Each structure stands twice: as C-alpha cells, then as structure tokens.
Structure 1
C-alpha cells in the first residue's frame, strides 16, 4: 500500500482517510461552538469576536467573514512557511465558516432571535465545550494546524517567544480589532479566552493516541498539550 509523508508521520491512504473524517467531525463541532457564541450575544472568544466585527464592516455573514479571515491567514502562512500547511489546514480554512452559518440559522430557528438569558448562558456553556472538543479533535488528527494557529506558531518562532505569550499578544490584537469593527466583547470573551483551552488540552491528549490507533499509526507519538 502506498505511503505518504504528511504532517508528523508517514501515512497510508487509510490513515489519511481516517484523519480527514476526524478533522471534519472536529470542524463541524467547532462550527457549532462559534455559532453558539455568536447567537448568545454575550461576547465571543477573541477570534470569533474579530470575525463578527469583520462581518459587520464588510456586510458578509459571519460564516463568510470567517472564511475570508481564514483564507487571509492561509495566504500569509503560505508565504511565511508553506510547510506548516496540511490537508487539515485546507479543510478548516474553507469549511468552518460554511458550517457556522448553518448552525446560526438552526439555532435562531430553534430559540428565536431574542432568547432568554438562560438560553444565552446555555449557549455560552455548550459553545465553550464544543470549541474545546472540536479543536481538540481537529488537532489530534495531525494533518496541519488551522491557518491562524499556524500563523501564531510561525510568529512565536520568528520572535523567539513562547507560544503562550505570543497568543496573548494575538488575542489582544483580535479584541482591539473586534472593538473597532463592532464585534461584541463581553463576558463570553473572557470565557472563550480562559476556558476553551482547559477543555481542548485533555481532548487532544486523550484522542491523539486513539486517532493514531484507528489510523494504523500506533507508533506515532504526539507531544501532549
């Protein structure tokens, strides 16, 4: 069977197929998380808030603005270090926003355009969990980081900063941009900044070896988050 060198290992066609399925499940769940934050109208994680503002100034739907945002970072990463781009990067770039728009329509149809505070808090809670699980699954597939994540990794290396410190700088830039463009920055922004990571880490650490087993790469070891 043919082997292909991608990401962190040499994968068979079966391995790639399994990982692509995991990626798409992760992207689908992540899209719900972003949509939940948007429809809660209580503020979103920094990137989602920035994209919300971008949609307001361009007249695009949230999902289309997300696709533009991801595509822009995809091009930047392509220029800075194309080797960080994988199949997962491409899938994430061009599908996340489309799924998010679908979920926004579904959520609005289910609970209305002005949900009660109880529903809004519930959306923040489920959105936080969904973002952590979705991003954890996506990263566990090991076929490339999302475009903005890849950009952050590249910039941290270029500036010789620990990734977590560069991420703080990046998040501040996103929040400032969101405020300038009219994105909602509120309690949900703090929730997104500080609580998604504690969900993402354990999901990634648990699912990475599981995905490797499903894909027939039991010998491949990922560094834990």
Structure 2
C-alpha cells in the first residue's frame, strides 16, 4: 500500500529497495532473501521460528511482486495519504494478529520480539529496529519520504497497543480435576 502511495516506503522496504539494486533481484525476491538473512540475527536473540514465520518469509515477497505488477500507483493526493496511513495501520494491526496467534513472528518481527524478551518495550524495540534498518537502507541507496518517517515512528506504538488484544491465552480447562 505504501509503495503505491508514493510518500515514502516503510523502512524495511527502503532497505529492500536499496538491497535489490545491489543484488539484482526483484523487489519481492529481495524480501524473501532478506527474510532468510534476518533470521540469522535470531540466533543470538534465541528466537524460534514457527509456521507463521516460514509463511511470512515467503508469502510477503511473492505477494509484493504480484501486487506491484497489477496495481497502479495512486496519483490523487488524498489517495496517496490514505494509502500511506492505511499501510501503517494495517501493518500494525496485522502484526498484532499474527504474532498474537502464537504461530511465530515474521522474520523482521522476530527482531522486535527477541529484543522485547530481553526487557525492551515492544514499542521501543520495534521503533529502534525500524529506524536502524531505514538508515541502513538509505546507505544502500533506498529513498525515504514522509511515509517512511511516519511508519518508523508509529508502527511500534500501534503494534504495542494491538498485540495484547490478539494474544492467544490458554483456556481454562473444563475437565474435572
């Protein structure tokens, strides 16, 4: 959504954009390759992948290439802002849903959950990861805009607020003791 809003890519996509120009992969294939590389950073954070991790690692990149090849970028200023804000909110709520389901965070979200497991608040961990990867993406040649900055600063608090609503909790047993 944000890519077609033309107001700035999300920070990870700034990285993907810069990295894809270096390695020569499509945008979506770069997302998949980055997922594999990012999961190596899980080792010191002691994060364990789940089914959701693997699906996220492949599905996001494939859907990105499909979407970008079939949907035209927005030109209307109101639509551009709506795509930018919608992208941030949908990503934040979506992250809360699939992380909360307990099937494993996406590769990039695993950095956030790994840092949170070591004492950082979710909002601080996510914002720190997003700002850091945005800066690396710029060094690699990715471009930023107001949407990039908005995403970097808002996604952490949105995920932190939505995650508790979707976190799966064990149900009380109804079996006699």
- Length-normalised TM-score, structure 2: 0.79
Match of 1:139 in 2: 99
User: Is residue 48 of structure 2 the alignment partner of residue 88 of structure 1?
Assistant: no
TM-superposed deviation, 1:45: 2.5
The Cα offsets for residues 133-189 of structure 1, whole Å up to 9 and x where unpaired, read as 2111111111212222323444676xx662555545433331222112221211001
Decide which structure has greater helix share: 1
Shift of 1:203: 3.2
SS state of the match for residue 184, structure 1?
coil
1:37 aligns with 2:11: no
Cα deviation digits, residues 110-133 of structure 1 (max 9, x gap): xxx562323221210221121112
With over 3 angstroms needed to count, the CA separation of the structure-2 counterparts of 1:153 and 1:114, relative to structure 1, is closer
Question: Does 1:100 find its partner at 2:64?
Answer: yes
CA contact (8 A) 1:74 1:93 kept: no
The answer to whether the 8 A contact 2:127-2:155 is kept is no
How far apart, in 2, do the equivalents of 1:165 and 1:196 lie? 10
Separation in structure 1 between the aligned mates of residue 78 and residue 124 of structure 2, nearest angstrom:
35
Hey, what's the Cα distance between the residues in 2 that align with 1:162 and 1:208?
18
What residue in structure 2 maps to residue 117 of structure 1? 77
Residues 46 and 122 (structure 1), Cα distance of their counterparts in 2 relative to 1, 3 Å cut = same
CA positional deviation for 1:50: 1.0
Whether 2:37 is the aligned partner of 1:72: answer: yes
| 2:120 corresponding residue in structure 1 | 162
- 2:176 pairs with 1:218: no
Counterpart Cα distance in 1 of 2:111 and 2:59: 19
Give structure 1 regions of 4+ aligned residues with deviation exceeding 6 angstroms.
none
Aligned counterpart, 2:19: 54
